[in-house]
Amino acid sequence: MWDTASGLGTAFILLCVLTGPSDAFSAPSVAPKYRDLGRWLFPLSPSGGAPPGARGVMGPAFQLRGSVSRGTGVWMQAEGGTGAKRVVIVGGGIGGLCVAGRLAKARPDWRITILEKNEKAGGRLDTVEVGDGAYRFDTGPTLLLAPDIYRQTFEAMGSRLEDHVELVRVDPSYRVFSPDATNFTASTCLLDMKNQLEEIEEGGFRGFLRYMEEACVNYVRGFNSRPFLSKDNSLLDYANIDNLLLLRDFDPANLVQTHSERLSRFFKTEKLRAIMSFQNLYVGLAPHTAPALFSLLQYLEIVEGIHYPIGGFAKVREGLLSVLAGLNVEVRYGAEVSRIIHSGGGGFLTGGS
């Protein structure tokens, strides 16, 4: 499974050429032709070629990613000739939809098909309606963080998020209930935050401001650092003057300390440390095991805000599908792929329509 780099999900993508001479070029000779696409979609492997013995859906493969996970990967098989290219994306989750849209915008002459085993796309992003639509429940994501990433994704497909989804900022964001009745309401109003934090812990507001300053660096500087944006994970992405300058603001201890350990620098009480770290559960981590870098979640919630799409998260899925339709991307439902059969002469998917 491969992250789309948009933060919106994963997809297993098979990039294959369906026409052209039967003899495929070798990976090194194909690499220059698709190097720009590789940089845009997935990082190139350091050698620019496929791992030894790798095979594509139609024959010898050119790998666009530097490593293989659980025996799977993302390959482009390229053959001679100028015939139409076809892309098959297995899985119509948010990751699959986003990759399809980005690729269709970049390569409008390619035929792109998404194979989705369910009767609707979106993966975990789903909505259940009861009472003839009178009540609607999101069964996947229930809050939207970092809306700029969503905007960038739609823009990369030649559209705008605002043309498909109406977002509202939720304020207050949420309320945390405690057994001793000292509840906490996350708010964008600093006066409200000061009164609540000082009630829980003397000096808690000063600690909160220091904590938000560090969380801001972790998110804003971290997400724009060369290691995070690296396309090929090269040594130069880590050993460079930019990273040395980054150390003026960023404390590397955030990478090795747990979130719980780091929070003890800012808050004395276990209650405030819990309030500022339960968000780690969003990504399936516990505060005592998550790296301190995850303070960026609190920055996103409190500073940039929690948003919600009017009409439910299904509106995000519907917006993506609308964009894909305009880009002539085909989505096949009920098309489960059970396995990929390949041999020296080519290959095909089984289980799909």
Q: Which of 294-303, 315-324, 332-341 has the lowest mean pLDDT?
A: 332-341
Q: What residue spans define the domains of the chain?
A: 84-141+311-352, 171-305
Q: Identity (one letter) of the amino acid at 298?
A: Q
Q: Identity (one letter) of the amino acid at 74?
A: V
Pairing of strands 174-176, 184-186: antiparallel
Query: Is the model's pLDDT at 94 over the cut of 80?
Result: yes
Nearest to 288 by CA among 296, 280, 300: 280
Residue 10 pairs with which residues in a beta bridge?
A: 3
| pLDDT tens figures, 118-165 | 999 999 888 888 988 788 899 988 889 999 999 999 999 999 999 999
Question: pTM for the whole thing?
Answer: 0.71
Q: Are 87 and 111 in contact (CB under 8 A)?
A: yes
| pLDDT tens figures, 21-42 | 222 222 233 333 333 333 333 3
Q: How many of the other CB atoms lie within 10 Å of CB of 228?
A: 10
Query: Is the model's pLDDT at 65 over the cut of 80?
Result: no
pLDDT of residue 350: 57
pLDDT of residue 239: 75
Output 301 or 70, whichever has higher pLDDT.
Answer: 301
- Give the rounded percent of residues in the chain with a pLDDT score beyond 90: 48
- Give the rounded percent of residues in the chain with a pLDDT score beyond 70: 71
Angstrom distance (rounded) from CA 297 to CA 288: 16
CATH number of 84-141+311-352: 3.50.50.60
Nearest to 210 by CA among 122, 300, 295, 119: 295
Output 349 or 196, whichever has higher pLDDT.
Answer: 196
Structure tokens at 198: 């000082």
